Amino acid sequence: MSEHPAIAPAEPLTVLEATSQVVAEQRRELKRQGKAVRRNEDPEAVHRMRVATRRLRTALRALHGHVRAPKRLGRQLGWLAEKLGRVRDDDVILALLDGRMFRGHASDERTRLARLVRRLTARRDKHRAALVEATRRGKYRRLLEDLAAFAAEPLAAQAEQAMASRALAEVSERLGEAVAKNAGMNEPSPGDDALHELRIAFKRLRYALDFHAEACGLAYDVERRLARQMQDVLGEIHDRDLLLGWLREGKGGFRGPWPRLEPRLVAERARLFRRFLRLRREWTERTREEPNVAPLEAPRFVHLEAQPVTLRLVRGSKHVASTLVR
């Protein structure tokens, strides 16, 4: 989805219309990147295919109360996400163990590191072959067919169709509140698990804001930028936590000691954590409560500035500007 301010549609969209738009767009992206994965023509195709899968799962989860999606769609997307995740996780770890990691290592550590990279590469190639084979089978084709059918005619979960602007604002408010309450946003030095959960929370909020921007013409530029940056830095921290955990567990090719590799990863993580703390302060400042805004009905987003739109999450009270809801 575009990071630029969206242009408001001529007529406000209902939830069903917005769902149709989002699902159709992500289905096209899924199909396009699936072809690139099979052709092995773009190393980032797996990542983009995974993002499309995540966006679809987020959309179905976020709009569950308004739209009735077939249960098999969730199962099919979960099946594909698992296969994509195996390849992508190995790609990420291999990227951390690139050539720069080899410089400055003692001969024994350098030899073991090269052996580890070979083993991980073989495992990644095996997972990639399984993914390619999966995209050639009927289960994947049925997923694309089911997504096309659902995009063409989504089913309402309620008798009265809600407007997309209100429904998505409510979703964004709920996900924003989950971010605000997460331990990773409140503890002075949150642990690995809290940061991982916070990454997932920011990812879901970012996608919900993206959906609203695309479907309703509201840009949310500040929040989307910060959510994307938080998701990225927390992802990089998680990658290092994952590799450090494997090294410290010391099983198979990860058996140590790693006198050069481990301190380098620890130092990189420390730098990333400091960046996370700076972004956390910025997010908290941007989403602070605005005391002079007249209370209206939930959701608790306040439209404060002219286009490109900036919304501020108001914590602890129910505020919303009337201009938000169409």
The pLDDT of residue 102: 60
Determine the Cα–Cα distance for residues 233 and 227; give it in Å rounded to an integer: 10
**CA distances (Å), origin 312, targets 24, 43, 172, 227:** 30, 37, 11, 13
Structure tokens belonging to residue 146: 């089911």
Report the CATH architecture of 13-161.
Alpha solenoid (1.40)
DSSP conformation letters of 202-219: HHHHHHHHHHHHHHHS--
Determine the Cα–Cα distance for residues 49 and 35; give it in Å rounded to an integer: 10
Furthest C-alpha separation in the chain: 70
The pLDDT of residue 146: 95
Given a cut of 60, whether residue 294 has pLDDT beyond it is: no
Q: Give the pLDDT confidence of 113-156 residue by residue, as tens digits.
A: 888 899 999 999 999 999 999 999 999 999 999 999 999 998 88
How many residues are present in the chain?
326
The pLDDT of residue 45: 93
Q: With contact defined as beta carbons under 8 Å apart, do 270 and 276 qualify?
A: no
Structure tokens belonging to residue 173: 């408010």
Given a cut of 70, whether residue 308 has pLDDT beyond it is: no
Determine the Cα–Cα distance for residues 135 and 33; give it in Å rounded to an integer: 11
Residue 211: which of 63, 44, 10, 49 has the closest Cα?
A: 63
DSSP conformation letters of 258-312: -TTHHHHHHHHHHHHHHHHHHHHHHHHHHT---TTSPP-SSP-EEE-SSSSP-EE
Q: Which residues pair with 163 in a beta bridge?
A: 14
Q: Give the pLDDT confidence of 223-270 residue by residue, as tens digits.
A: 888 999 999 999 999 999 999 999 998 888 888 788 888 999 999 999
Instruction: Assign 281 a pLDDT band (cuts: 50, 70, 90).
Output: very high
The pLDDT of residue 325: 33
**CA distances (Å), origin 204, targets 53, 55, 57:** 12, 8, 10
Given a cut of 50, whether residue 7 has pLDDT beyond it is: no
Q: With contact defined as beta carbons under 8 Å apart, do 72 and 139 qualify?
A: no
Q: What's this model's pTM, rounded to 2 decimal places?
A: 0.80
Average pLDDT over residues 206-212: 86
Contacts of residue 283, Cβ cutoff 8 Å, sequence gap at least 6: 179, 185, 226, 230
> Rounded to the nearest 10 degrees, how much is the dihedral formed by the CA atoms of 133, 135, 139, 144?
-170
The pLDDT of residue 1: 45
